Amino acid sequence: MTNLDIIMVIVRVSISAFVPLCFLAVCVTMERRVAGFIQDRSGPNRAGICGIRAGGLVQNLADGLKLAFKEDIISEHVEHKFLYVLAPIISMAAAIISFALVPFADTLVLDGKSYVMQGIPWDTGILWFLAITGFSVYGIILAGWSSTNKYSLLGALRSASQVISYEIPMGLAVISLLIVYGSINLSDIARFQGQTWLGFIPMWGILLQPLAAVIFIVAAFAECNRTPFDLAEGESELVAGFHLEYSAMKFAVFFMGEYVAMFASSAVIVTLFFGGYNIPFFDTDFLIRNIKPVAFVLLVILPVFMFYFAKWIRRNNRSQYLRENDPRKAEATIYIRCFWILIAIIEVFLLAILAFAQPDTAAAHLLVALMQICTFLIKVTLMLFVYVWVRWTIPRFRYDQLQMLGWQKLLPLALLNIFVTGAIVVALG
């Protein structure tokens, strides 16, 4: 192994392990702000460090610190303390590992060697995701059972049976996708979606397999225990469900595990149905061959985008009433300056590429990989927004309705989809 190999291993593993954790902050903030927007209120906007509130991001820090320093209580009536402590660890670990095989950029070629941009460079793709999400059931069951509490037990029963039963339509939806893509390797699937049909329609999974997309997304919502399938928590009837007895950081680990699982499943949805890391209409080869025009376009677009972004920050960051020397306006100025400095640094790099880089060199490959990572993260953020949007829009199902939907609607639909897809693929040869 050369030094480059070791560096690439470290880079890939840290991206696949730490990006979900960093997105926790994005998810939680987005959840609260969007909830505030939908319910016509502000959401968290008070916690700040020296007046810097970062649009509610600092609230996460405050909550995290609060949870970390809270007293960690394990009730006397908990008989199996080891399993009680193990449960949050399992659900968090399973959530992080399930992201390991999702590609976040096209295969990177450096010095004639190619590096598959996944945490674990395996070709078993979607099966790994299905295997690891299966493990998250253990966390739920152990938490509910070892809490020795009727509400927790009921929550765990509901949640576990829901996760187990929605795994089946999810797996069947994946089968019809695999017939179309002809591979279970998520990198191959993402590359397939980089093609265009008739020259202008991207061959995304959602266009090729709309039914499978609907089934998979619904099942993914249920697997994450998100509304409208969050009967496991059901505050009005079960208080909080399986994590009722957990306090302080143990609860926080459950909470974080839920959001990391949400990130991982939206990453998989994006990879399967929305083109993965592909920038629409531009495949990797095209970008690498035309690196100079691409760098030039970025060079022009970024300041324009930043100009409107700064306007947006100004518009949203001011007090609701007239104040002398409005501190929120000063705050907005600081944000805008920070972002301009960031843009300036990126512009310098882009200028360097524009001046010196030749097509098909390491710099070109790296720039394209970075652009693809950004595209992937933007798509995942949009999918996360859909999760949040659905949560604050659609009310909860009744439990029997939920099981009926899984077994009597999604399962036959998924089977039908497999037959129809198979027939069409055979007919087209």
Partner 1 sequence: MYIDTLFSIFALIAIAGSLGLVLFRHPMQSALCLAVTMISLAGIYALLSAKLIFLLQLIVYAGAVMAMIVFIIMFLNLREKDLPEERERFTYLIGGAVLLIPVAWFMIKVMKSIPGVKNSIVGNGFGSIKELGQVLFTNWLVPFEIISLLLLVTLVGAVVLAGIRRESND
CA distances (Å), origin 416, targets 165, 172, 211, 278: 18, 10, 10, 30
Q: Residue 167 or residue 258: which is nearer to partner 1 going by CB?
A: 167
Instruction: Extract long-range pairs of 66-72: CB within 8 Å, 24+ residues apart.
Output: 67/248, 67/249, 67/251, 67/252, 68/248, 68/249, 68/252, 70/247, 70/248, 70/249, 71/247, 71/248, 72/247, 72/248, 72/249, 72/250
Of the candidate residues 76, 79, 111, 324, the single one contacting partner 1 (CB under 8 A)? 79
Please choose, out of 49-57, 150-158, 260-268, 314-322, the segment that lies near partner 1 by the rule CB under 8 A.
150-158
Q: According to the binding rule CB under 8 A, does residue 127 interact with partner 1?
A: yes
Q: According to the binding rule CB under 8 A, does residue 145 interact with partner 1?
A: yes
Contact 232, 158 (CB under 8 A): yes
Tell the residue number behind the tokens 């929120």, with chain if given: 328
Q: Residue 122 or residue 349: which is nearer to partner 1 going by CB?
A: 122
End-to-end CA distance of the chain: 43
Q: CA triplet 18, 347, 342: central angle to 5 degrees?
A: 50
Q: Residue 122 or residue 309: which is nearer to partner 1 going by CB?
A: 122
Q: According to the binding rule CB under 8 A, does residue 75 interact with partner 1?
A: no
User: What CA–CA distance (Å, rounded) separates 305 from 115?
Assistant: 32
Give min distance, CB of 401 to partner 1, in A.
13
Q: According to the binding rule CB under 8 A, does residue 296 interact with partner 1?
A: no
Residue 1 half-sphere exposure, CB side, CA atoms within 13 Å?
Answer: 9
Give min distance, CB of 33 to partner 1, in A.
36
Give min distance, CB of 80 to partner 1, in A.
7
β-strand pairing of 201-202 with 196-197: antiparallel
User: What CA–CA distance (Å, rounded) separates 190 from 55?
Assistant: 34
Q: Residue 37 or residue 407: which is nearer to partner 1 going by CB?
A: 407
Q: Which residues contact 239 (CB under 8 A, 6 or more apart)?
A: 151
Q: According to the binding rule CB under 8 A, does residue 156 interact with partner 1?
A: yes
Q: According to the binding rule CB under 8 A, does residue 170 interact with partner 1?
A: no
Q: Is residue 296 classed as helix, strand or coil in its secondary structure?
A: helix
Q: According to the binding rule CB under 8 A, does residue 179 interact with partner 1?
A: no
Of the candidate residues 36, 93, 122, 314, the single one contacting partner 1 (CB under 8 A)? 122
Compose the 25-54 pattern: x for residues touching partner 1 by CB under 8 A, - for all others.
------------------------------
What single-letter amino acid sits at 36? G
Of the candidate residues 27, 92, 153, 367, the single one contacting partner 1 (CB under 8 A)? 153
Q: Which residues contact 222 (CB under 8 A, 6 or more apart)?
A: 162, 163, 166, 229, 402, 406
Q: According to the binding rule CB under 8 A, does residue 80 interact with partner 1?
A: yes
Number of residues that bind partner 1 (CB under 8 A): 32
Of the candidate residues 92, 116, 160, 384, the single one contacting partner 1 (CB under 8 A)? 160
Residues at the interface with partner 1 (CB under 8 A):
79-80, 83, 122-124, 127-128, 130-132, 134-135, 137-138, 141-142, 144-145, 153, 156-157, 160-161, 164, 167-168, 184, 407-408, 411, 415
